[in-house]
């Protein structure tokens, strides 16, 4: 609504409708009261009188609102401005009587009840002076109320925009911290492989270049589809499978109905890296990691499960990858998300992330 009322033509229509409704209400009151007193008047007469009164108020409300904005009662000169408004209210009342007197002369011209301007002005002076002053104060009070409401809305919008920018800055900082972390770990893996299998290391470098190109393309994107996330993850998984050979098997259990869901960019890579580092690397036996997704009501559940040694008596100390993932989920989804590490049934660790299920179309 505030956006629409910035349109001048709409403001004019709303103001005209407002004053017309007041005028019609008073016309109805005049018509009924005259009928009850045995001195009935026509509906056209009642409308002419009432609308004439209130359209004059409408006309004079324009300078009254200008005075209200120019001499605000909310600034440090409020006492002086209050005196100004008392003087302005008296001038407003006199101006109304002058305009209304001239209008009365025009409305009664050529009739049996024709009046002079002096008669109309004196009558108005006796019966409406203080009433007009009251109308002035009502007008500027309503004006102040709308002005405070507008300023309140503007502050709310600015606060929301600042909060949004702060959130984006925090997310950007977390993602900028995550990308070098991922790069350094991958380069370290390639460096170690160089002494064992040069051709495998070369293949890893090719995969890494593809990963970096994709990561750079998505630097400013906080959410991607699960399908896009999995494409990135497969390249990363291929690097790790090259590194570990037969010691590592990575499976993906992703139902088709979940693949268009939006997920945080690079949400799965640190979870997979954590499973490899803590669940697979410390052991000589073959390792297996299962990445799965499923929809649960209005939430999407992502799991990365390994068959390693589990948490034991303690918990895995969260490094940059896991701590940033937790922080990003909190920034993006607030209380509507969960992020947990727990021992999996049958051994190993399962990392679970849940957040609202939504797509680009919702």
Residue boundaries of the structural domains of the chain: 4-159, 196-356
Residue 224 falls in which region: left (phi positive, over 0), alpha (psi -120 to 50) or beta: beta
Q: How far apart are CA 320 and CA 78, in angstroms?
A: 56
Q: pLDDT per residue over 240-264, tens digit each?
A: 888 788 889 999 999 999 999 999 8
Q: pLDDT per residue over 278-288, tens digit each?
A: 888 888 888 99
Q: pLDDT per residue over 312-357, tens digit each?
A: 765 566 777 788 888 889 888 989 999 999 998 888 999 999 999 9
Q: How far apart are CA 188 and CA 209, in angstroms?
A: 15
Q: pLDDT per residue over 101-112, tens digit each?
A: 888 788 777 666
Q: How far apart are CA 276 and CA 290, in angstroms?
A: 11
pLDDT above 80 (res 176): no
Contact 22, 16 (CB under 8 A): no
**What's the pLDDT at 220?**
66
**What's the pLDDT at 322?**
84
pLDDT above 60 (res 1): no
CATH architecture of 196-356: 2-Layer Sandwich (3.30)
* Positive or negative: CA dihedral 71, 76, 80, 85: positive
pLDDT above 60 (res 186): yes
- Dmax (CA) of the chain: 117
pLDDT above 50 (res 2): no
**What's the pLDDT at 191?**
82
Q: How far apart are CA 324 and CA 270, in angstroms?
A: 9
Tell me the pLDDT of the chain averaged across its residues.
Answer: 83
pLDDT above 80 (res 229): yes
Query: Which of 24-38, 223-237, 319-333 shows the highest mean pLDDT?
Result: 223-237
**What's the pLDDT at 338?**
96
DSSP character for 286? -
Contact 40, 34 (CB under 8 A): yes
Question: pLDDT: is 81 or 226 the higher one?
Answer: 226
* pLDDT, average across residues 147-169: 74
Count of beta carbons in the 10 Å neighbourhood of residue 317: 8
Question: pLDDT: is 159 or 129 the higher one?
Answer: 129
Contact 99, 128 (CB under 8 A): no
pLDDT above 70 (res 182): no
- Three-state DSSP class for residue 341: strand
pLDDT above 50 (res 4): no
pLDDT above 60 (res 174): no
**What's the pLDDT at 125?**
82
**Whether the model pTM is above 0.95:** no
Question: pLDDT: is 320 or 122 the higher one?
Answer: 122
Percent of the chain with pLDDT strictly greater than 70: 87
Question: pLDDT: is 338 or 239 the higher one?
Answer: 338
Question: pLDDT: is 152 or 193 the higher one?
Answer: 152
Helix locations, the chain, DSSP H: 8-36, 43-70, 78-107, 117-194, 198-217, 226-244, 269-275, 320-333
* 32-46, 84-98, 158-172, 308-322: least confident range: 158-172
Contact 290, 347 (CB under 8 A): no
């Amino acid at each position: 609504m505030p956006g629409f009322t910035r349109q001048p033509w709409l403001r004019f229509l709303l103001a005209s409708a407002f004053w017309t409704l007041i005028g019609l209400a008073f016309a109805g009151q005049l018509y009924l009261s005259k009928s009850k007193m045995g001195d009935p008047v026509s509906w056209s007469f009642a409308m002419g009188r009432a609308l004439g009164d209130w359209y004059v108020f409408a006309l004079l409300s324009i300078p009254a609102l200008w005075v209200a904005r120019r001499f605000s009662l909310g600034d440090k000169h409020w006492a002086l401005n209050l005196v100004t408004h008392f003087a302005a209210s008296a001038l407003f009342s006199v101006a109304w009587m002058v305009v209304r007197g001239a209008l009365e002369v025009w409305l009664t011209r050529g009739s049996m009840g024709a009046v002079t301007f002096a008669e109309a002005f004196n009558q108005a002076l006796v019966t409406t002076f203080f009433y007009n002053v009251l109308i002035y104060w009502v007008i500027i009070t309503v004006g102040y109320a709308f002005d405070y409401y507008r300023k309140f809305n503007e502050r709310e919008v600015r606060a929301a925009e600042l909060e949004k920018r702060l959130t984006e800055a925090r997310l950007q900082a977390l993602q900028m911290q995550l990308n070098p972390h991922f790069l350094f770990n991958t380069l370290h893996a390639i460096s170690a492989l160089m002494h064992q299998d040069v051709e495998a290391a070369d293949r890893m470098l090719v995969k890494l270049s593809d990963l970096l190109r994709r990561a750079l393309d998505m630097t400013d994107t906080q959410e991607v589809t699960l399908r896009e996330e999995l494409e990135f993850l497969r390249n990363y998984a291929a690097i790790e499978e090259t590194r570990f050979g037969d010691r590592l098997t990575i499976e993906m259990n992703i139902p088709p109905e979940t693949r268009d869901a939006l997920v945080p960019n690079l949400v799965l890579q640190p979870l997979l890296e954590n499973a490899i580092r803590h669940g697979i690397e410390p052991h000589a036996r073959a390792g297996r990691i299962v990445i799965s997704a499923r929809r649960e009501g209005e939430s999407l559940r992502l799991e990365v499960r390994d068959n390693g040694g589990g948490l034991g008596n303690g918990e895995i100390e969260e490094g940059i990858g896991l701590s940033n993932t937790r922080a990003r989920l909190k920034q993006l989804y607030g209380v509507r998300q969960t992020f947990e590490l727990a021992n999996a049934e049958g051994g190993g660790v399962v990392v679970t992330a849940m957040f609202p299920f939504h797509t680009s179309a919702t």
